[in-house]
Structure 1
Amino acid sequence: MVLAKACDEQRPVCDTCAALHINCHYNQDKPEWMDGGVRQEKMAEELKREVKEKAHLRRGGRTLHTSGDRVSVAEAVDGAGKLRLPPQLPTDVATSVHNLFKASSNDQDDRTEPCLRRGTDATLACKDAGESGNITFGQSDTVLIMFYLENLFPFLFPFYRPSVIHGGRAWILEMMIKSPVMRQATLCQSSYFFSLAHGMTSRDVVWETVLKQTRDAFGVLGQALQVIDGSEITDHLPGAVRIMASIMQIQRFEIAISSFGNCQSHLNAALALFKQVLDSSGAVDPARLGSSFNTIMSRLKPSWSYPACQSQYLHVPSAEQAAFRFSSALLIFDDIIASTVLPEEPRLYEYHCSLLGDIDSTGPPINLEAVVGCQNWALLQISDISVLDAWKQQCKRAGSLDVMELVHRATAIKGSLETQFARLESDPVFIPKEGSSLLDVFTADYGQHPKPPVSQNLLVTRVWAHAARLYLFIVVSGWQPASIDVRYHVARIIELLSREISPSALLRTMVWPFCVAGCLAEPAQEAQFRGMVDGLQPPSVFGTIRKALEIMEGVWGNRDAGDAANRDLATCFGSQGDLVLLV
């Protein structure tokens, strides 16, 4: 009997057979050769031979292509050919993970048999050397998965509260079940934070568990990237979305433990995948990219419906649709923050207007506020300022900076920012009344962690808006912490973060504006910033905030340096070497 790999029933070719570069023997009817005897054994031998003959195709360079971008698995490794894992990890770990990539394209492929699919034959529920078609979880995995869903995910993304009548967070569990990459990325995070929650003091014990999950996550990611190689992305849209979501999960985990060495590689890979997916809709006009996003959403596995009454159906997004919308928001957010560090134009800048702007009555395709708590317009303004900063830096390097042109461009941004800011400041901040219906009770008790009320989103957006004003001031006027305008916005950010926004743990969602204000703080304000960080315990859970404080301490220590007049945000954020994503 042929040992076959679990089939995902993608058409016209399943992901398994596509990865092996062999013919897919899908048929709803039982093939003639599947007789349980000699003919079936003969076909099995032929398939084994085909797998071996195509091995050279699987071992070659596997590169994802998209317009203007080129990303490969190799891009996740350093010059020595080893993955750059967290610096706290033993050096031999990088070699082990690198070997997983080699194994995934060599020995493992030759052992794996293609899927032999027959419509309803349960006896062909496929198996391979390491995994069964029906995924089962051990008790430890079950505990870690539920810990992630009920505790860790609400902590990491406190503003993401999808309606329970639209499926809530159920898509995350479905993605874990369907995607080995997503499952390993999730277990990696959950193992680490679960150990911290239990107060484990032995660093070696904690890291031993984390290392295993990290090895698995990187290894499975390497295998998953092979699946979409050598074929059109449209043939593997759901798989590409799962990979993109998994990359974002791995990115968030490494950032959470203050490991930024892989930030650029992860960001590059996710950006290339996103562009490849979005461009597959066929639209070439940037103004129509919003409709392209909706087209991709409709091409993903469709939402399912259930009857609410005899004449109406309620629609729930599929796991892939929810994952694509959520991951796209995170990616655009990360891209904007990265642009302020590099400094350069955001890689997705041409997509911003159609994806984040209110281009019609239905609202933008992507709502950043629902994921990161900040309204779209504030992050769009920061994006525009980063484009202005990149232009300024390019002109300075070329010796052709026109200050009048700089002021002209900045004035347009300032006008838009002030209009939006005035509207935001005039919006009343109120706590919504508690609901009394049964459905309100369900939606109110959504996890055990304290949830930010709707009013907190307005306060969070104000923090980002004040930071945007500081950013624009620096780009136009240079580094002047003693300016009255700068002092005002720094003081407002301190007041919002320390007195108005609650709970204090929400600070971890506003690390970038926190760091912008901190770098410009006066000596008398340093203690306030240190106090906000010290109040968040345990330190290992708030790694990005402590990284921000580390950057701020460096700026404070060089406050009187001779080059202070030439300082800008990019030089502050770039002082750590690697791309430091304060997200």
Structure 2
Amino acid sequence: MGIRPSGCWTCRIRHRKCDSRTPTCKECTDRNVQCHGYGQKPEWMDGAAEEEKENLRIKKAVKENFRSLRRIQNRARQNRRDVAPRLQAVPAQEEQDWGPSGSISPHHGSNLPDSGLDSRDYASISPNNESSSGSANSTRSAYIELARQEPRRIPWIDSHDASLLMHYLDQVFSWQFPYHSYASRSGNRGWLLSLLIQQGPLYHAILSLSSLHQSVLLGREEEYCQQCIAFDRHSRALRELCAFMSCKEEQLFNDAAQMTEFLASGIMLITFEVFRGGEHDWQLHLNALTSTLSQLTTQDIFAPGHCRDDSQRDQMHNHLNFMENKDRDGLQFLITAALWFDILSCVSTGKVPALPYSQWLSIPGLDTAAVMGCQNWIMALIGDLANLKQWKDNSIKTGLLSTRDLAVKGQRIESALENGIKQLEINEKGLTDKEINVLWVSRMFALAALVLLHTIISGPLPKLPEIQSAVSRTIATLHTRPKSCPANGIVWAICVTGCMAQPTVQQSFESCMKEMLADHGRFGNCSTVLRVMRKCWELQQHGVADCKTAMVEMGICALLI
């Protein structure tokens, strides 16, 4: 079969990823809508009234299919409550006698489509022996009814998926969060395991990450097959997340477990794009996270007694007060990661953080050092730098830029950075490896923030003494990297600082990125960072440029994490 990169006509009009199967694709089959195939362009695709009419018909069919699924799920919950008393009353001997003759295959719930289900789909699940006693037969019927109505509730994972999950926990997680502290409050990953057992959107997102990581460890042919699996899992995760949000969007702010599932899925989808190079497609997922979390961002929750709406404050307080929330570990970890992505993305997007970082980073329990290796105060100042740049750009546009105000604002941030760096340069004797790593990573980010500050105040001019000084201090810090400290978590600092390096010291940053490439191969965005730095150096031969300028010239928007 020839390759159909655009998919069927139905998926095109719905803007969905199509697997190009014949005679009908899986997306259309799962949604129970007409698949218009891959032939000539249909007459109704006229870009006008007929196309809109067909689009509305398809949307209506998808919604009706979804409502049908919801009705089945509601009946399943009711039937489960009806069946439960009978299950509890099963004698041990009857359960033993029933086992081989009335067993239910554990595979039946692993690959069911997300919608378009009907009870007939499960008709094949039936006992092999109908001649048992009445009581045993009743027991079998109870189990079969339960399996027919709610197959997904059986927490069974096949061996291949289990292997991928272990690969993620053993190898991918440590790459994704290289400075994660298992001694911190968020160190226990039990919340992650409890979500994986549900086999929801997060489950498939993590399988896609694990498959992608395995693909770079294999040969060419095996790599291609593994990447196909990874992208199939990624598409499944996207579909599952869309279905999850359709069903449970209103529950996010009333159920911390649902919020945790949503945030974890979004972060894994962002990471998937970063692992592929981080050049595109991550912004959509990050925007979804921040737009949801921003609904929790109001000063009221940090100022008791000054609330406009007590019910709203209580609702948000339950999510953000990690001392009282039973799901605090997962939420603490995920909100910290979301803040990290939000703040560091500003260099690439030219925007300011969407989340109230200065308030949230002051919440006890939100510790970026325990998750990402860099202390909170540095992340807050990096967020301040994004706001300073936007203020300067807006002032220039309106012709109201005050150099005195710019200098005052810059001096405040510079003093905070320099004082903080001095505090980091303490005697490391008696500290654990994790604590030493946090100090080193924090120094790298603080020095990069210093370079970024001078770039904002004076412009991207590598020859400026203050920029040269900060770059030199960064190189000296690079040479003192602890042996136990991985370097793949500091690509933001390397890129921001390296782009402002003069030709005589550029080799230091290039060597650092090449070393990371040798360690991690094509997995991650190290090659993207190296290309951005080289493009920036090339542009500086003819004018001024920084990492954002280089990305624009390259036509990318890389997430430097």
* Correspondence 1:330 to 2:263: no
* Correspondence 1:515 to 2:520: no
**Contact 1:293–1:365 (Cα < 8 Å) also in 2:** no
Structure 1: which 5+ runs fail to align? 1-77, 304-319, 358-362, 434-451
Length-normalised TM-score, structure 1:
0.69
Query: 1-side partners of 2:441 and 2:25: how far apart?
Result: 42
* Correspondence 1:481 to 2:429: no
* Correspondence 1:271 to 2:290: yes
Quickly say closer, same or farther: Cα 1:208–1:345, change in 2 above 3 A: closer
Quickly say closer, same or farther: Cα 1:256–1:402, change in 2 above 3 A: same
**Contact 2:181–2:187 (Cα < 8 Å) also in 1:** no
Query: 1-side partners of 2:440 and 2:477: how far apart?
Result: 7
* Correspondence 1:151 to 2:171: yes
1:108-123 pair list within 5 angstroms: 109-111=67-69, 113=72, 114=74, 115-116=77-78, 117-118=80-81, 120-121=84-85, 122=87, 123=142
C-alpha displacement at 1:557, in angstroms?
1.2
Higher relative contact order (CA 8 A, sep 6+): 1
C-alpha displacement at 1:521, in angstroms?
1.2
Residue number in structure 2 paired with 1:353? 358
Residue number in structure 2 paired with 1:251? 270
Residue number in structure 2 paired with 1:221? 241
1:156-167 pair list within 5 angstroms: 156-163=176-183
Residue number in structure 2 paired with 1:364? 364
C-alpha displacement at 1:569, in angstroms?
4.6
Quickly say closer, same or farther: Cα 1:471–1:297, change in 2 above 3 A: closer
**Contact 1:389–1:475 (Cα < 8 Å) also in 2:** yes
Quickly say closer, same or farther: Cα 1:235–1:352, change in 2 above 3 A: closer
Secondary structure, aligned partner of 1:570: helix
Residue number in structure 2 paired with 1:296? 319
Task: State the one-letter code of the partner of 2:555.
Answer: G
* Correspondence 1:553 to 2:560: no
**Contact 1:467–1:517 (Cα < 8 Å) also in 2:** yes
Residue number in structure 1 paired with 2:511? 531
Residue number in structure 1 paired with 2:549? 571
Question: Identity of aligned pairs, percent?
Answer: 21
C-alpha displacement at 1:294, in angstroms?
5.6
* Correspondence 1:176 to 2:196: yes
Residue number in structure 1 paired with 2:405? 405
**Which residue of 417, 436, 439 corresponds with 1:458?**
439
Query: 2-side partners of 1:393 and 1:525: how far apart?
Result: 30
Query: 2-side partners of 1:581 and 1:243: how far apart?
Result: 21
Secondary structure, aligned partner of 1:543: coil
C-alpha displacement at 1:401, in angstroms?
1.7
Query: 2-side partners of 1:569 and 1:172: how far apart?
Result: 35
Query: 2-side partners of 1:356 and 1:222: how far apart?
Result: 30
**Contact 2:195–2:202 (Cα < 8 Å) also in 1:** yes
Query: 2-side partners of 1:546 and 1:334: how far apart?
Result: 19
Structure 2: which 5+ runs fail to align? 1-10, 33-61, 88-141
Quickly say closer, same or farther: Cα 1:291–1:570, change in 2 above 3 A: farther
Length-normalised TM-score, structure 2:
0.72
Query: 2-side partners of 1:99 and 1:524: how far apart?
Result: 58
> What whole-Å deviation, never above 9, does each CA across 1:446-497 have from its counterpart, x for those lacking one?
xxxxxx6320110110000100110110111112201222222212222323
**Contact 1:186–1:249 (Cα < 8 Å) also in 2:** yes
C-alpha displacement at 1:210, in angstroms?
1.1
Aligned length: 453
Residue number in structure 2 paired with 1:191? 211
**Contact 1:193–1:541 (Cα < 8 Å) also in 2:** no
* Correspondence 1:581 to 2:559: yes
Secondary structure, aligned partner of 2:283: helix
Secondary structure, aligned partner of 1:429: coil
Q: Which moved more, 1:178-187 or 1:121-130?
A: 121-130
Quickly say closer, same or farther: Cα 1:380–1:299, change in 2 above 3 A: closer
Q: Which moved more, 1:128-137 or 1:276-285?
A: 276-285
Quickly say closer, same or farther: Cα 1:164–1:516, change in 2 above 3 A: closer
C-alpha displacement at 1:503, in angstroms?
4.7
Query: 2-side partners of 1:529 and 1:81: how far apart?
Result: 45
Query: 1-side partners of 2:255 and 2:215: how far apart?
Result: 36
Query: 2-side partners of 1:245 and 1:166: how far apart?
Result: 14
> What whole-Å deviation, never above 9, does each CA across 1:71-125 have from its counterpart, x for those lacking one?
xxxxxxx997536x8xxxx9969x9797699667554552450221528444478
Query: 2-side partners of 1:253 and 1:574: how far apart?
Result: 22
Q: Which moved more, 1:181-190 or 1:475-484?
A: 475-484
Task: State the one-letter code of the partner of 1:328.
Answer: I
Quickly say closer, same or farther: Cα 1:179–1:395, change in 2 above 3 A: farther
The RMSD of aligned alpha carbons is 3.6
Q: Which moved more, 1:293-302 or 1:236-245?
A: 293-302
Residue number in structure 1 paired with 2:427? 428
Query: 2-side partners of 1:149 and 1:340: how far apart?
Result: 30
Quickly say closer, same or farther: Cα 1:237–1:539, change in 2 above 3 A: closer
Residue number in structure 1 paired with 2:158? 138
**Contact 1:189–1:253 (Cα < 8 Å) also in 2:** yes
Task: State the one-letter code of the partner of 2:162.
Answer: T
Quickly say closer, same or farther: Cα 1:540–1:220, change in 2 above 3 A: farther
Residue number in structure 2 paired with 1:211? 231
Quickly say closer, same or farther: Cα 1:534–1:106, change in 2 above 3 A: farther
Q: Which moved more, 1:150-159 or 1:215-224?
A: 150-159
**Contact 2:252–2:258 (Cα < 8 Å) also in 1:** no
> What whole-Å deviation, never above 9, does each CA across 1:266-289 have from its counterpart, x for those lacking one?
011101222235669977879999
Residue number in structure 2 paired with 1:33? none
**Contact 2:185–2:365 (Cα < 8 Å) also in 1:** no
Query: 2-side partners of 1:400 and 1:98: how far apart?
Result: 54
**Contact 1:255–1:543 (Cα < 8 Å) also in 2:** yes
Residue number in structure 2 paired with 1:418? 418
> What whole-Å deviation, never above 9, does each CA across 1:396-447 have from its counterpart, x for those lacking one?
222322222211221222222222222222x2224646xxxxxxxxxxxxxx
**Contact 1:430–1:455 (Cα < 8 Å) also in 2:** no
Query: 2-side partners of 1:128 and 1:247: how far apart?
Result: 31
**Contact 2:301–2:317 (Cα < 8 Å) also in 1:** no
Q: Which moved more, 1:144-153 or 1:460-469?
A: 144-153
